[in-house]
Amino acid sequence: MPTGKVFLVGAGPGDPGLLTLRARDVLREADILLYDALAADAIVALAPASCERIFVGKRGGGAAVPQEETENLMVLKARAGKCVVRLKGGDPFLFGRGGEEAQALHAAGIEFEVVPGISSAFAAPAYAGIPVTHRDHNTVLTIVSGHEDPAKDRSAIDWERLGDPHQTLIFLMAMSNLRDITQRLVRSGLPATQPAAVISGGTLPSQRTVTGTLASIADDAQREGLSAPAIVVIGTVVALREQIAWFEKSPLFGKRVLVTRPEIRQDEFARELLRAGAEPILAPTIAITPPDDPRAAEQSTHDAARYSWVVFTSVNGVRVFFDYLDARRDDARIFGKAKIAAIGLKTSQALLRRNVYADAIPHRYIAEDLADLLIASSREGDAMLIYRAAEARDVLPDRLNAAGRPATVVAAYKTVFTADPLFAERVERSDIVTFMSASTVNGFIRNLGGAEAARAACAKKIVACIGPVTAQAASDAGLPVHVVAQEYTAEGLIEALRAEAVTS
């Protein structure tokens, strides 16, 4: 059996959006994933479902997996012919013991590759509005480990050299020794008034930043309850935070947003929330499943050219349609001369990814407006194939049939309600509840045991809906509706939430 390969991959500082493209590609090919506690769940999830995930870090103050055991696992799995990804927080070669792991792989004769990551030493200050270098403030940047190897009989840090006030000092893994570190720096010649900052949870919606002086920062951080993972920045550049802090000023920064849409559609919305500084809480209330009669859904893809129009009412419908085509090695030629309609921007974009341009997209992404546009764009007698969810409203086919455009409705998929024993706990943690369809409203109510419990759960929260149809479903159930997107997309909903946060 040929020997496999090990990839030492930096996961970055926490924000999944800061993962490198190379790291993403490697993760998608992993057979074995060895990861630590600093690797975000969204990054770990990039590994394929078939990948064996092995946690080799330390959680909740428990015992850490011994380094020798991690290195032995890498060698053992690679010798079994596997593609092994060792995923490490930040950069693997910056206080990440990646060098030691590379040496162990070299000694064992295992091929390896290093995929650098963005270090929290740079990213966390940037997200806190602190440039680690600035020509008006420093000419030297020093990155120091705040937690040396306990087996050493004396410190390897040159404390006297760190006493130069014309530099920026970055301490990683320093929270447990912060008071001792600041006192040693003062003894080394740094003024007690030197600006200092502690950044906890850097680049994440949970980020918290405390500033002070070298004399006060240990007490300041303790008073505010800051904890690891955190970095310490010492230098006059800390004062620039007042002018250029940006991440924590986002209207949605730190808001916890309940995402109730199906798991298959969560990633995109969650990424947009993270970019806005919010923390997504994933709590799907429905799932997408095959229809009761999948034969009809498949057969209609053979018959598409018989229709004047093929109408897609969701991204899911597009995905299912082309999955059937892919399975039999067909492509968009199956449409023949039929024109294509999409209910909205996301559906049209899903078609475009298949090199299919929608001929009709309504200004408002609702069935009523799509029906009006199709009637105006067609002739009496034009046959319409509507590829949709099994439980979708009948507004579209009813209007088309009434206007002499015979409509064939095909259930491409159906939505089913999901049950989550931790659902009430997730709702309780959230500040904002989002609904992306009437089905997610109904699933929310079912998970909480009825409309009365759902109303109570939403009493002190912001309820946001993707459009008027979803908002009506929420209102009919007695739920308060505070925000309705003007553009019926995930991005439109986030923009509406931003506007609500600014004005409230």
Q: Is the dihedral of CA 494, 496, 502, 504 positive or negative?
A: negative
384 counts as catalytic: no
Cβ within 8 Å of residue 183, ≥6 positions away: none
What's the rounded Cα separation, in Å, for the pair 376 and 489? 24
Residue 385 is inside which H or E element, if any? strand 384-389
- Residues 6+ away with beta carbon under 8 Å from 254: 205, 206, 248, 277, 278, 279
- Give dist(CA 493, CA 474) in Å, integer: 15
Selected catalytic residue, list 25, 58, 323, 394: 58
Q: CA-to-CA distance for 257 and 434, rounded, in angstroms?
A: 7
Let me know if 175 is a catalytic residue. Answer: no
Establish whether 173 is a catalytic residue. yes
The DSSP letter of residue 306 is G
Interacting residues of 436 by C-beta distance below 8 A, sequence separation 6+: 260, 261, 265, 269, 466, 470, 490, 493
CA nearest to 446, candidates 475, 477, 467 = 477
Single out the catalytic residue among 15, 31, 36, 91: 36
Cα 96 versus chain centre, distance: 24
Task: Name the CA dihedral angle for 396, 398, 403, 407, rounded to a multiple of 10 degrees.
Answer: 70
Residue 445: partners with Cβ closer than 8 Å, 6 or more residues away: 451, 454, 477
Report, as residue numbers or ranges, the catalytic residues: 36, 58, 173
